[in-house]
Amino acid sequence: MPASPFQMPAGRARPRSMPRSRRTMRRRKTCARSSPVSGKLREEGRGTFMSRHLGVIDRYLIGLAGKPLALSLGVVLAALLLERVLRLVDMLSATGGTPYWLLVALTASLVPHYVSLALTAAFFVAVFVAMSRLGDGSELDALMASGVSIRRICMPFVALGCVLMVVSVILYGFLNPVTRYDYHRLLYTAAAGWDAKVPPATFIDAGHGITITADRVDTSGRRLTGVFIQRKRPSGTEITSARTGTLELSKDQKHLTLLLQDGITIRDAQSGATGTLRFKNLTYGTQFNLDLTTYRARGESERELTMPELVERIASGDGDLKPAALKAELADRLVRALTLPLLPLLAVPLSFAGRRGSRTTGLVFAAIVLVTFNNALQFATDLGASRATYTTPIVVAPFVVFAALCIWLFQSSKDQPVEAPIVRMVSGLQTGITAFAGRITGLGRTA
């Protein structure tokens, strides 16, 4: 049997026992030097050495959650956008001649909305996966055995949730209202027709049987190079090609006139006659209407107003929007942002259930809770917007219930995580599902 490193060498006399207080102090100093995650980590005011190791643990835990957060956010965002892009392709293909840049612009305007929706689910999954990895590698047991509490382990995740809360406020409060308006404006442009701008290398249906394309276009969309125009008439087809072209306003400021330079026009009549015209400068014989580009101003819906604009409208009481709808919209945005720091209090207790059974049951339970909360919040927002009184309390009520549930689950599991009520409930649910599946399988074999 190998000798213990703490035994005295042979032939050396054992020193006289030192007083108990001195032995205790030496043991404490030895433990503090040998274990960076010792019980002394809870004493944050004992010098910079402890502070450095606290920072290391925080960075490690946030790093565990960072990769799953980015991966989950990317997967959920891609799934949500793909479904909407397919619908947009079907809708735009029905209009005919819609350029691809419009599809890209519509998709980009949806990104802030779907990021804000995916952030909640992605953050929960990230914390759940991080805690599960700690449990799989016995790191969680080592941290708890050295005196690091569940509350201390949860602190970096709550701090990350506060950072994401600020991001959510930016998304819900500023980006989403503007991009929502841009999305509807672009849809109007696609449905109404040509917006009097020519994207490069794109065939545009400008109306009156005219199709326009250009090799290169400047940033304004109205100075063209390498112009090609096809015009279909009852009498025949007319094709015009020019080196350059410019769309300019008419004198009444209501129409656009196409000015072409250095080109040729070929007319092919149905009778079979063909005519050719070369020109240095040509004013194209059709004026293009600008009325199709007009769209309503932003702010006719409370969902198109930023948070400062909502507060201003509520304080002034002006406008066509109901004050109850404005208050409900503002409360809904704030509540959705405040939900993020609470998610670790739900994810950490549920991650302990995987140590006694399947983690799938814990994730299913969390999905049910989050979906129920989201639907309840949406219902409360609609209900609060339709009432003249108690609008804000109605919208905040589901959040209060959700916050109380998260805090209760965390408090009940922070001392004995594996024996927490939520862990026993999830384990019992898993046992019941397994037994039910076994009975169904047995019945199938008997039949």
Mean pLDDT value of segment 386-415 = 90
Query: What pLDDT is stored for residue 332 in this prediction?
Result: 96
Contact 274, 239 (CB under 8 A): no
Residue-by-residue DSSP string for 271-316: TS-EEEEEEEEEEEEEEEESGGG--PPTTSSGGGS-HHHHHHHHHH
What pLDDT is attached to residue 67? 92
- 279 has which bridge partners? 263
Question: Is residue 172 predicted with pLDDT exceeding 60?
Answer: yes
Number of neighbours of residue 7 by Cβ within 10 angstroms? 7
Range from 54-68, 278-292, 378-392, 431-445 carrying the lowest mean pLDDT: 431-445
Whether 126 shows a pLDDT value over 50: the answer reads yes
d(C-alpha 187, C-alpha 402), whole Å: 37
Mean pLDDT of 382-386: 92
Confidence at residue 17, expressed as pLDDT on a 0 to 100 scale: 45
- Please determine, for residue 47, whether its predicted confidence score (pLDDT) is greater than 60: no
Return contacts of 99-105, CB within 8 angstroms, 24+ apart: 99/199, 99/202, 99/204, 100/202, 101/199, 101/202, 102/186, 102/189, 102/190, 105/182, 105/186
The predicted pLDDT at position 139 comes to 87
By mean pLDDT, which of 12-16, 235-239, 297-301, 416-420 is the weakest?
A: 12-16
Could you tell me where the beta strands, DSSP code E, fall in 124-203? Answer: none
For residue 148, name the pLDDT band (cuts at 50, 70, 90).
Answer: confident
Distances (CA, A) of 326 to 89, 182, 355: 33, 20, 46
Interhelix angle 100-136/176-192, rounded to 10 degrees, is 140
The SS3 of residue 211 is strand
pLDDT band at 15 (very low <50, low <70, confident <90, very high): very low
- Predicted confidence (pLDDT) at residue 10 exceeds the cutoff of 60: no
Helix (H) or strand (E) holding 241: strand 236-249
Residue 414 DSSP one-character state: S
Give the integer Cα–Cα distance in Å for 26 and 314.
Answer: 66
Better pLDDT: 20 or 61: 61
| Separation between Cα atoms, residue 223 and residue 188, nearest integer Å | 24
Rounded average pLDDT over 184-201: 69
pLDDT at 274 over 70: yes
pLDDT at 297: 84
Give residue limits of the domains in the chain: 48-192, 204-289, 302-446
Angle in degrees, CA 358, 359, 364, rounded to 5: 110
Spatial CB neighbours of 163, under 8 Å, sequence gap ≥ 6:
none
* Cα 221 from Cα 255, distance rounded (Å): 16
pTM as predicted: 0.68
Lowest mean pLDDT among 29-33, 276-280, 296-300, 391-395: 29-33
The predicted pLDDT at position 39 comes to: 43
Q: What is the mean pLDDT of the chain?
A: 79
Segment 206-240, tens digit of pLDDT = 767 888 888 888 876 678 899 998 888 888 888 99
In order of 20, 24, 139, 294, 323, the CA distances from 13 in angstroms are 20, 22, 40, 99, 88
Q: Provide the CA 84 distance to its chain's centre, in angstroms.
A: 15
Residue 98 has what pLDDT?
56
Q: Say which DSSP state 416 is in.
A: S
Structural contact between residues 262 and 244, judged by C-beta atoms closer than 8 angstroms: yes
Least confident of 25-39, 121-135, 146-160, 262-276: 25-39
Q: CB under 8 Å to 328, separation ≥6 — which residues? A: 381, 382, 384, 385, 391, 392, 394, 395
